[in-house]
Amino acid sequence: LMHMQGNPETMQGAPHYENVVTEVFDALNRKLAELRQLGISDVIIDPGFGFGKTIAHNFRLLQQLDFFHELGCPLMIGLSRKGTVYKTLGVTAEEALNGTTVLHTLGLARGAHILRVHDVKEAMEAIKLVMEVEG
């Protein structure tokens, strides 16, 4: 279950939130309740990095990622080669591997259970190291 403000054609027009974390959380919580009423209990939550959000919104969501554990579902993040990474670093998407790995590591440390990635080997290395540190 991924959050997106607007639709693919309009989502990046002018994303606006009073509080991106609580608004994304509340929207996901409402949809999750609807799914549970339908008898669907196996749900993965994705805050939707880059989908109707500015770079600042994406960083705020990552900073407070642990808040989404309140939903009681596995948490997936998709930061691989996103504009948040390459625009912040001033590189191309293809050159964003180091930045992607840093954000994946931060996401894992904040409780992400699943990474949606382009570079599987590098993501697995990050996961392995985080698991060693976290025990």
Q: Could you list the active site residues?
A: 82, 116
Strand partners, 77: 115
The sign of the dihedral angle between the CA atoms of 17, 21, 26, 29 is positive
Strand partners, 2: 46
Nearest to 15 by CA among 54, 58, 48: 54
Where are the alpha helices (H) located in 1-135, listed in sequence order? Answer: 20-37, 55-63, 83-89, 97-109, 120-134
Dihedral class, residue 106 (left if φ above 0, else alpha if ψ from -120 to 50, else beta): alpha
